[in-house]
Amino acid sequence: MQQWKGREAPSLAEIEAMAEAARAALPEAFRGPAAAVVLRVEDFAAEAVLDEMQIEDPFELTGLYEGVPLTEKSVFDPSGPDVIWLFRRPILDEWVGRGDVALDALVAHVFVHELAHHFGWSDDDIARIDRWWE
């Protein structure tokens, strides 16, 4: 127990830095479009978001893409930036629960999953090639 004395969970900024490292490590073809997406890290999703998604337990949502996928964008879309939200507490909870993956790898996975939505991929599309959860 003594080994944990004085240690703290990673901060919002540290989770953001892990996601930014994942963005920087993307293949060149994806790095440019990914740079246009704003990254936000919060402890939990807002209550309104959880209500809209019909999620009762805020620990169930680790990330969220908010925007218009590149495959659907037009000049008539609102000009606000697309945003990837990462939720620190659910990510940390999942990391502890899994116990088999490094935290930076989990953050990168959640970030890339949400970025795939920016590129127009559905959850089913992502699941076909990403066997992460098996």
- If we measure between CA atoms, which residue out of 63, 60, 69 comes closest to residue 108? 63
pLDDT at 82: 92
pLDDT at 3: 63
**Residue-range domains of the chain with CATH:** 10-68+79-129 (3.30.2010.20)
pLDDT at 132: 57
pLDDT at 73: 76
pLDDT at 76: 72
Mean pLDDT of successive 10-residue stretches along the chain, which has 134 residues: 70 96 90 92 97 96 91 73 96 93 94 89 72 56
Single pTM value for the model: 0.87
